[in-house]
Structure 1
């Protein structure tokens, strides 16, 4: 451990109550402040000696404030994502319109038709990989071809199916 890290660790232990108060003011809760303090401890352990830290107390308080702000931003982002996921999964107004449903059914039909029309051996290789979950290397060994050939057939199938989904002729 560097001398900066050792000195900062000692200072962190001595200033822990003040650092927790600062973190709690920023993040808003005791458990979140404890999380910040734990992150602070890990961060302090990684501090190198070059460049030397002249005002270790100021450095420690600045690092605490920065980590607390990062924690608050990450928590806000997590809560927004959770709310969006909940809304998408559980709100009744997220049902597709009749038009959207018909467009989706039509796209699915086009993809299914295109999958049935895939040329051999592309069709066989694609089915083995995507529907039977056989790894590309195993398909290559089973069919006596290279892994690159298997990969190219799968890419070809995916391109054809994507074109069908998008209504493009390929």
Structure 2
């Protein structure tokens, strides 16, 4: 490793807090760490020719330049991607009309299947799986045990699975 790089690395380690504050004034806190890391990488590539007479000034100038370049790059990136109109041919996150119709039909079928369950079993299933209540709360609300809640949910899930995998009514 060249002697300039060794001396600058040692200086960087002692001056790191001050260099970090310098970068932070230019680019902000999160990016200042990135700039300081880039500074370390840049210092490792410094050659001995020409010799650097004032290593501290060189290091601070390099840190300021890297921070300024980083800020310019960030602004340029933001301008490029903010100004662009969203592509018109980009796929939508919305489900297709066909998917919505199929989902509505499946939901209606599930509601019909749930109506086939005994009242208590249906109540437990809805409270536990649809409303998302904890088992102990369902048990307290309906005056049954936690084991009974688990049993009703198991029965409801098996019933729904069996009926939903059958051929739909024609």
TM-score (norm 1): 0.50
Indicate the residue corresponding to 2:23 in structure 1. 23
How far the C-alpha of 1:52 sits from its partner, in A, is 0.4
Give the distance between the partners of 1:22 and 1:62, measured in 2 at CA.
10
Tell me if 1:78 matches 2:86: no
Indicate the residue corresponding to 1:48 in structure 2. 47
Aligned residues: 88
1:89 to 87, 90, 94: 87
Give the distance between the partners of 1:40 and 1:89, measured in 2 at CA.
38
Give the distance between the partners of 1:62 and 1:89, measured in 2 at CA.
42
Give the distance between the partners of 1:17 and 1:89, measured in 2 at CA.
44
Give the distance between the partners of 2:75 and 2:40, measured in 1 at CA.
23
Indicate the residue corresponding to 1:153 in structure 2. none
How far the C-alpha of 1:89 sits from its partner, in A, is 3.1
Indicate the residue corresponding to 2:122 in structure 1. none
Give the distance between the partners of 1:80 and 1:14, measured in 2 at CA.
37
Tell me if 1:59 matches 2:28: no
Any stretches of 5+ residues in structure 2 without a counterpart? 89-170
TM-score (norm 2): 0.50
Give the distance between the partners of 1:57 and 1:76, measured in 2 at CA.
29
Note the 1:10-159 alignment, pairs <5 A. 10-27=10-27, 29-85=28-84, 87-89=85-87
How far the C-alpha of 1:82 sits from its partner, in A, is 1.4
Q: Deviations over 1:19-73 (max 9, x none)?
A: 000001011x211101100110110000000000000000000000000000000
- 2:87 partner SS: helix
Give the distance between the partners of 1:4 and 1:54, measured in 2 at CA.
10
Indicate the residue corresponding to 2:9 in structure 1. 9
Indicate the residue corresponding to 1:146 in structure 2. none
Any stretches of 5+ residues in structure 1 without a counterpart? 91-170
